[in-house]
Amino acid sequence: MKKLGHRGVILKSASPYQNSIAAMQLALKHGDGFETDLCLSADQEVFFIHDSKYLGGEVKYCIEEHLDSKSQEIVKGRRIDQLSSEEVRGLRLRDGSSIPDFDEVLGLFKNNRKILNLELKSHQAERVVAKRIAAAVKNGALLAEQLIISSFNHSALEFIRSELPEVRVGMLFLPAEFAPAPIYPWSEESVEYQPISGNYLESEITK
């Protein structure tokens, strides 16, 4: 059995804040790895922050909940995919730390064999992520067996599986009693959060 921290770690104390580098380091110190939320900026750079959540039939965009007051004023209701990478680098989490980028997180695995579980959050993140991961594995920055790619977007995981067959994927589901809802209500793509069911688990996409 492996112990993975959620968003690095989530503590009752204000610091380290979830999905910060310090939270990830704490998860690596006390466990076997961690899960973190992968998002894209407007110019397709990879960052890690929890940007949206399912609320019983609808999706709420929630990046501002994780930012300090000054950064909330800068964001002003925009999504992370509406912000440039320069803007994202200038934002601060509630504990004052910066939002980690891909290279920063990758650097945490330089001298260990622990697990990195990337949850794909942004719309169409899978294509960017597949390229970045393939390059990281090729240059030895990370081993394929250290990775798990998870998402509520199961078609994105199909793409990852086709491009990176050596990397494990994990399908995420809503509880059975929940109603489906669009994952990206601001886009034209009709991908939904999927409640778990026996029929779905026996469908072609899960094989």
Would you kindly state where each structural domain of the chain is located, as residue ranges?
Answer: 4-173
Q: Is a pLDDT exceeding 80 seen at residue 56?
A: no
Q: pLDDT per residue over 167-179, tens digit each?
A: 999 999 999 998 8
- Average pLDDT on 109-118 reads 96
Q: pLDDT per residue over 115-142, tens digit each?
A: 999 999 999 999 999 999 999 999 999 9
Candidate CATH numbers 3.40.50.1970, 3.90.400.10, 3.20.20.190, 3.30.70.1520; the one for domain 4-173? 3.20.20.190
Question: Which pLDDT does position 204 carry in this prediction?
Answer: 78
**C-alpha angle with apex 59: 25 to 204, nearest 5 degrees?**
85
Kindly give, in sequence order, each residue whose CB lies less than 8 Å from that of residue 84, ignoring residues fewer than 6 positions away.
41, 42, 43
Q: How confident is the model at residue 149 (pLDDT cuts 50, 70, 90)?
A: very high
Residue 175 tokens, joined: 């509880």
Question: Which pLDDT does position 53 carry in this prediction?
Answer: 85
- Average pLDDT on 9-13 reads 91
Pick the residue with more confidence: 32 or 52? Answer: 32
Q: How confident is the model at residue 189 (pLDDT cuts 50, 70, 90)?
A: confident
Q: Is a pLDDT exceeding 80 seen at residue 57?
A: no
φ and ψ at residue 99, rounded to 5 degrees: -80, 120
Question: Which pLDDT does position 188 carry in this prediction?
Answer: 81
Question: Which pLDDT does position 181 carry in this prediction?
Answer: 87
Residue with tokens 């929890």: 50
Report how far apart, in Å, the C-alpha atoms of 175 and of each of 26, 56, 167, 180, 207 are. 29, 10, 26, 10, 20
Q: How confident is the model at residue 203 (pLDDT cuts 50, 70, 90)?
A: confident
Query: What three-state secondary structure class fits 105?
Result: helix
Q: Is a pLDDT exceeding 90 seen at residue 70?
A: yes
Q: pLDDT per residue over 153-167, tens digit each?
A: 999 999 999 999 999
Question: Which pLDDT does position 107 carry in this prediction?
Answer: 96
Report how far apart, in Å, the C-alpha atoms of 207 and of each of 53, 113, 195 are. 27, 28, 17
Q: How confident is the model at residue 59 (pLDDT cuts 50, 70, 90)?
A: confident
